[in-house]
Chains A and B, each alone.
Chain A
Amino acid sequence: MKKKPHVILFSGYGLNTEDETKCAFELVGATADIVHINDLIADPKLLGKAQVLVMPGGFSYGDDTGAGKAYGNRVKQHLSGAIEQFLARDTLMIGICNGFQIITNAGFVPGALLQNDSGRYSCRWVDLEVTGESPWLTGIKSLSVPIAHGEGKYFAPPETLAQLKKEGAIALRYVRGETANYFDMPENPNGSLENIAGVTSHGGRVLGLMPHPERAVRFTQLPHWTYLREGYVRDGKELPAEGPGLQLFRNAVHYFS
């Protein structure tokens, strides 16, 4: 068996979900380091040590001037070449929430994220259907995870959208599944074009998505776990330990083994 992959997570300027994302990777056996973007700019060769690159969620630059724009500019200005080199190897990259906004602004995945139709930041659970090919999503048909964002409405111009479809790069779509039914909420939380929640590039190796799989790695994170618990207890069963998001991270580790 090959070595477990090493993960580098970007940090700085208001990114804020590095710790729990690192934790999710470690749960499935990867090693991971949180590295400040300025340290990567000072020494881009650091990326050479990693097999997986993570642009985590957060609130870089407070969403000022547009979500992910300022951080995306900084990435593009200083690290475009280094990241392209990183991706030229057989590596994986993921942008989650603000990280998705950043990697669209920096040009690593197509499209843009607009303000939610509601005009308001929204934190809730959503159900996703896997509709594309990606090493990140191997063996997953659907999953429920939380979102938390104010600018998550996916948009791409018609020609880009056509291209995405042709490549099978529309990876995740919002559907009405377990949690939307449970809470009786609409499946699409933000008005995203064609219910798109995540897209890929580089043949699926780069995944950008608004929802947060790292917040759905244990059973007691589920929004209705105390309800589900009653079923398990009354049937005399053990409570499960894992949540549905963990499989994404496990897939990333499996990709290298």
Chain B
Amino acid sequence: MKIMAHRIAVYPSKVGDARAEGVLRSLKAVFPTAHLDRVASVATYVVEAALTDRDLEVAAVRLTNPIIEHSSRESVDAPAGYAFAIEIGYLPGVTDNVGKTARETIEDALSKKFSGGEAVYSSTLYFFFGDLTKKDAEAFAKELHNPLIQRTIVYGSGEKEFPIVVPRVDLHAPPEADLVDLDVDDAELLRIGKEGIQNRDGTRRGPLALSVRALKVIRDYFKQEGRKPSDIELEALAQAWSEHCKHTIFADPLDEIEDGIYRRYIKGATEKIRKEKGKRDFCVSVFKDNSGAIAFDEKYLVTHKVETHNSPSGLDPFGGSVTAIVGVNRDCLGFGLGAKPIANTYGFCVADPTDATELFRDKEKTQPLLPARRILEGVIAGVNAGGNQSGIPTMDGFVIADPSYRGKPLVYGGTVGLIPRKKGSRTLYEKKAKAGDYIVMIGGRVGLDGIHGATFSSESLSSGSPATAVQIGDPITQKKFSDALVREARDAGLYSSITDDGAGGLSGSVGEMARESDGALVDLETVPLKYPGLSPWQIWLSESQERMTLAVPKSKWSAFQKICERHDVEATRIGEFTSSGRCIVRHKGQTVLDISLDFLHEGRPIEAQKSARPEPKSLSTQKHADLGEALLDMLSRPSIGSISFISQQYDHEVQGTSVTKPLQGKGRVNAEATVLKPLAESDKGVVLAHGIAPWYSKIDTYAMAAAAIDTVVRNAIIAGASRDYLAILDNFCWSSSDAPERLFELKMASKACYDVATAYGTPFISGKDSMFNDFRGYTAEGKPTHIAALPTLLVSAIGVIPNVEKAMTIDLKRVGDLLYVAGETNDELGASEYSEAGDVPIVDTKKNAAVYDAVAKAIGNGLVASAIGVGRGGLAVALAKSVIAGKLGAAIDLSKLAGRAKGDAEKLFSESQGRILLSVPRTSKAAFEKMCQGVTVTEVGEVLEAASLSVEGDKSIEIPLSKLTEAYRSFFKKW
């Protein structure tokens, strides 16, 4: 029988077509003037396989639920009277999870496996009804697909035939490695570094991001070896030495800091804190594994890691953000011998989604950036798919809108893990590949996806950005091997080391693990491929998702293989760890890569960096006549208003561990910290919180970083944590980081990290940086433009608390409770939500630490009914959120506030750090005040039945609760 392409089309029956309804709703919102009446949809599966008519009939039955669907084969029955139809499918080679599931369903039904050339491709046909023009249809198509990953065809109303499209990958790459001549002039070396190795047809392979100096070091190395480097060797070195993998900017000397800012300020802070803590040190594995780990109790550790996936999310927001979350899950699975993911966190720094500015990657304006709205929609949907499908609760998260994120969004994804310290006598949080262990790759197969991801994210987004840099995650493939590893293989002791295939693919993972045994030998032709025709360097460097590399002792291979088979996980031996001191890669018997591990990992030339103080920017002062209006205005902005539609579409209840949730109180207000209870048998809880304050970078990055740490500590405290059991993680997102001014800002921010973290005793346990969040492109007028993200530091916190019953939420609870402000309110409106000009908030760690300790103690003693950090938008926003959450009123008297703030505006909107707004039962007043002796804690008002917020100041303000709630929920109301 011949392999032929067939089609099965599945139609929703009259019961309802929610997919089409959704498309109708979103198109009506985007194109309010188009005469679109109705949409219908059809799911189509192109089955390219050697199947009989009977086989296809069986396949169609299996793909159709007869209660709610019906199907046709080969032809598509177009509904009568449609105006236009649009088919949307994937481009060749793009991960098609639906097609894959359809294939498995058919294989199972027919009890036979598809051969290499056989596959199923999914697509969707939409039929549009109404008085529509061709232009409307083309605009719809543009809105509904992303040309970097999807294909689309528009059909007119007369069409009854819809040709079958088979998006098969057909590659004709040279199957062997090419040698690269580095004995060329500096101009050519520069080109090789910037644009990549030249292909046989003259095109370039994409950036290596290697400097001329680095290329000369490589040239000299291979001169000593007596030969020219192969393309795969050069690519592997570029990956291993990339900013993304080596964090060169943080590692190399900067001005007088010879050991680099990472060792001095980040790691240095942790070392100092651990030493000071002595026996109370809870850090167990920091800065050396894929996640950082702290003690949970005598038996377990909790791990945390936060990643960014910015550049790919700018190109394909959905795929980029699925990969962000599923990728960071692997940093958890790749901690020690595998931690179980128990919570995800997220954060999106984007442009205001209503910003309609058009931007292009090229001068000819053929490569538009996606609209701001679609970037946000896409990244939200990506974490939805990645987190929900993996069965990991998505707890803490945020959205921040600022014009500086229009070029590249910042997409943060974090994963918390749980791992037993020991299984029998084996320590599970340590690992070591041994010479003689098999190198085993598990999970997905290798394709062209994600090639140059590591070097690409070390560059800014421009027209040369490779489309192959985009990967789409397949959470189920990963969930399958996660079950196999964490439930069975880990505890059975079947492997001695494991790491994630992330940046740089096998080149990264095998290269890293080879250091444990001191060598590796890989046979590339054994690596399972998605489709034939990949060159050796592509197989080695590909960042195809859902893969991990393990070291499996020979004696354990058969047991390991059996577990994988039962879980339907592909596991392949691709080589052996050795003790040769070299990483050697062969392809069909021929050696294509042979580099000493020392050179691979330590050969990179150190670059001395110099910083320069930037010119201060001039900032304008805003005046708001009516402070009540100013508050309502703030509440209706995307960075402050409700994102309940996100919290509610992310499963935060799975695993049954949630204690305090992302939405709190009757009014469902987004909290900035959550608590979970990882073990059924233990009362202990884990507090997760975030702190971020990029706005202050407009004035001072030291203040920005200090505020970020102060905020995260504050947010953790109000959820029930205490400073003495709180660890933090840093994520720096910078721009143009080779510019001396940006380096100066980085140095200041890093210094703040050291100063504030050591003052609070909160050690860094893991971190990540993304240094080139720049967009260089063109405006709608064709003018060159550069958009640089604000210097942004996200600080995430993880703390352990003894009893979850003491956890705290932000909502006011009872009428008559007293309101207190802990901390001092100073005149610090600079770069605030209220005003641009003014003094930036300065963190006074000594005073703030005292406030945090007093509040933590009061919460721990059950004296507090609600607590909220005073942050963006100042006291006014904290008050508003508390009353909205509690559906109660409140009255406060500004004259009672402690601190140097003078006017009403300063008192309400100053963003002075170190402050917490609390409600306390009257019966606890005396005990609470006693506990806060020596700390600035002031009674400012009380909780009222009256459904309004009233503020007594120079002028009095009264705003009904209904108006506050409406404003708070307004921005994303229709999302």
Q: A interface vs B, CB < 8 Å?
A: 11-17, 19-20, 23-24, 27, 34, 36, 38-39, 42, 57-66, 69-70, 73-74, 77, 105, 111-112, 114-117, 119-124, 146, 148, 150, 153, 155-157, 182-184, 212, 214-215, 217, 220-221, 223-224, 226-227, 229-230, 233-234, 239
* Interface-facing stretch out of B601-609, B802-810, B897-905: B802-810
Task: Please judge, given known A-B contacts A12-B480, A122-B648, whether A117 and B18 are in contact too, CB under 8 Å.
Answer: yes
Q: How far is the CB of A69 from chain B (nearest CB, A)?
A: 6
Instruction: Let me know if B102 and A65 touch, CB within 8 A.
Output: yes
Which single member of B65, B647, B654, B660 contacts A16 (CB below 8 Å)? B654
Instruction: Let me know if B68 and A114 touch, CB within 8 A.
Output: yes
Which single member of A15, A16, A61, A114 contacts B101 (CB below 8 Å)? A61
Q: Which residues of B contact A13 (CB under 8 A)?
A: 476, 480, 568
Instruction: Let me know if A148 and B21 touch, CB within 8 A.
Output: no
Cα-based distance from A112 to B70 in the complex (angstroms): 14
Q: A62-B475, A157-B67 are in contact. List 10 more A-B contacts (CB 8 A).
A: A14-B479, A23-B680, A66-B69, A115-B16, A120-B645, A123-B651, A124-B648, A184-B666, A215-B653, A217-B656
Instruction: Let me know if A58 and B65 touch, CB within 8 A.
Output: no
Task: Please judge, given known A-B contacts A14-B480, A155-B68, whether A183 and B668 are in contact too, CB under 8 Å.
Answer: yes
Cα-based distance from A15 to B390 in the complex (angstroms): 9
Instruction: Let me know if A123 and B650 touch, CB within 8 A.
Output: yes
Q: Which residues of B contact A116 (CB under 8 A)?
A: 18
Q: Which of B625-661 contact A (CB under 8 A)?
A: 645, 647-661
A-B contact pairs, 7 of them (CB 8 A): A14-B476, A20-B657, A20-B680, A61-B101, A65-B105, A73-B62, A221-B656
Indicate if B921 sits at the interface (CB-CB under 8 A): yes
Instruction: Let me know if A233 and B68 touch, CB within 8 A.
Output: no
Instruction: Let me know if B18 and A121 touch, CB within 8 A.
Output: no
Q: How far is the CB of A226 from chain B (nearest CB, A)?
A: 4
Instruction: Let me know if B813 and A12 touch, CB within 8 A.
Output: no
Interface range, B side? 35 or more
Cα-based distance from A120 to B644 in the complex (angstroms): 13
Q: How far is the CB of B942 from chain A (nearest CB, A)?
A: 15
Instruction: Let me know if B651 and A148 touch, CB within 8 A.
Output: yes
Which single member of B43, B62, B807, B811 contacts A227 (CB below 8 Å)? B811
Which single member of A16, A38, A42, A111 contacts B568 (CB below 8 Å)? A38
Instruction: Let me know if A62 and B101 touch, CB within 8 A.
Output: yes
Cα-based distance from A113 to B388 in the complex (angstroms): 18
Instruction: Let me know if B567 and A16 touch, CB within 8 A.
Output: no
Cα-based distance from A120 to B104 in the complex (angstroms): 26
Indicate if B862 sits at the interface (CB-CB under 8 A): yes
**What does DSSP make chain A's interface, helix, strand, loop or mixed?**
mixed
Instruction: Let me know if B805 and A220 touch, CB within 8 A.
Output: yes
Instruction: Let me know if A59 and B813 touch, CB within 8 A.
Output: no
Task: Please judge, given known A-B contacts A38-B566, A148-B654, whether A155 and B101 are in contact too, CB under 8 Å.
Answer: no
Q: How far is the CB of A9 from chain B (nearest CB, A)?
A: 12
Cα-based distance from A12 to B108 in the complex (angstroms): 15
Cα-based distance from A188 to B814 in the complex (angstroms): 29
Q: How far is the CB of A72 from chain B (nearest CB, A)?
A: 9
The 8 closest A-B pairs by CB, nearest first: A16-B391, A115-B18, A64-B101, A20-B656, A119-B22, A112-B67, A148-B651, A59-B389
Which single member of A74, A115, A121 contacts B384 (CB below 8 Å)? A121
Indicate if B109 sits at the interface (CB-CB under 8 A): yes
Q: Which residues of A contact B104 (CB under 8 A)?
A: 61, 70
Q: Which residues of B contact A239 (CB under 8 A)?
A: 805
Q: Which residues of B contact A58 (CB under 8 A)?
A: 391
Instruction: Let me know if B98 and A120 touch, CB within 8 A.
Output: no
Q: Which residues of A contact B647 (CB under 8 A)?
A: 123
Instruction: Let me know if A123 and B649 touch, CB within 8 A.
Output: yes
Instruction: Let me know if B25 and A119 touch, CB within 8 A.
Output: yes
Q: Which residues of B contact A27 (CB under 8 A)?
A: 680
Which single member of A124, A153, A183, A230 contacts B813 (CB below 8 Å)? A230
Q: Which residues of A contact B19 (CB under 8 A)?
A: 115, 119
Instruction: Let me know if A112 and B68 touch, CB within 8 A.
Output: yes
Indicate if B100 sits at the interface (CB-CB under 8 A): yes
Q: How far is the CB of B139 from chain A (nearest CB, A)?
A: 21
Instruction: Let me know if B108 and A105 touch, CB within 8 A.
Output: no
Indicate if B487 sits at the interface (CB-CB under 8 A): yes
Instruction: Let me know if B814 and A230 touch, CB within 8 A.
Output: yes
Residue of A nearest to B100 (CB): A64
Residue of B nearest to A64 (CB): B101
Instruction: Let me know if A226 and B97 touch, CB within 8 A.
Output: no
Q: Which residues of B contact A11 (CB under 8 A)?
A: 483
Instruction: Let me know if A121 and B649 touch, CB within 8 A.
Output: yes
Instruction: Let me know if B566 and A36 touch, CB within 8 A.
Output: yes
Q: Which residues of A contact B193 (CB under 8 A)?
A: none
Q: Which of B1-29 contact A (CB under 8 A)?
A: 15-16, 18-19, 21-22, 25
Cα-based distance from A130 to B824 in the complex (angstroms): 53
Q: How far is the CB of A242 from chain B (nearest CB, A)?
A: 13
Q: Which residues of B contact A156 (CB under 8 A)?
A: 67
Instruction: Let me know if B680 and A59 touch, CB within 8 A.
Output: no
Which single member of B63, B389, B808 contacts A62 (CB below 8 Å)? B389
Contact with A along B784-819 (1 / 0, CB 8 A): 000000000000000000001101110101100000
Cα-based distance from A77 to B108 in the complex (angstroms): 8
Which single member of B98, B652, B921 contacts A65 (CB below 8 Å)? B98
Q: Which residues of B contact A77 (CB under 8 A)?
A: 108-109
Instruction: Let me know if A59 and B476 touch, CB within 8 A.
Output: yes
Indicate if B923 sits at the interface (CB-CB under 8 A): yes
Indicate if B417 sits at the interface (CB-CB under 8 A): no
Q: How far is the CB of A105 from chain B (nearest CB, A)?
A: 6
Q: Which residues of B contact A221 (CB under 8 A)?
A: 653, 656, 658-659
Task: Please judge, given known A-B contacts A214-B656, A234-B921, whether A12 and B567 are in contact too, CB under 8 Å.
Answer: yes
Cα-based distance from A23 to B653 in the complex (angstroms): 15
Cα-based distance from A105 to B68 in the complex (angstroms): 11
Indicate if B466 sits at the interface (CB-CB under 8 A): no
Q: Which residues of B contact A223 (CB under 8 A)?
A: 661
Q: How far is the CB of A76 from chain B (nearest CB, A)?
A: 9
Task: Please judge, given known A-B contacts A62-B97, A64-B102, A121-B384, whether A226 and B808 are in contact too, CB under 8 Å.
Answer: yes
Indicate if B406 sits at the interface (CB-CB under 8 A): no
Cα-based distance from A100 to B400 in the complex (angstroms): 38
Q: Which residues of A contact B385 (CB under 8 A)?
A: 62
Indicate if B677 sits at the interface (CB-CB under 8 A): yes
Instruction: Let me know if A233 and B568 touch, CB within 8 A.
Output: no
Q: Which residues of A contact B652 (CB under 8 A)?
A: 123
Indicate if B295 sits at the interface (CB-CB under 8 A): no
Indicate if B665 sits at the interface (CB-CB under 8 A): yes
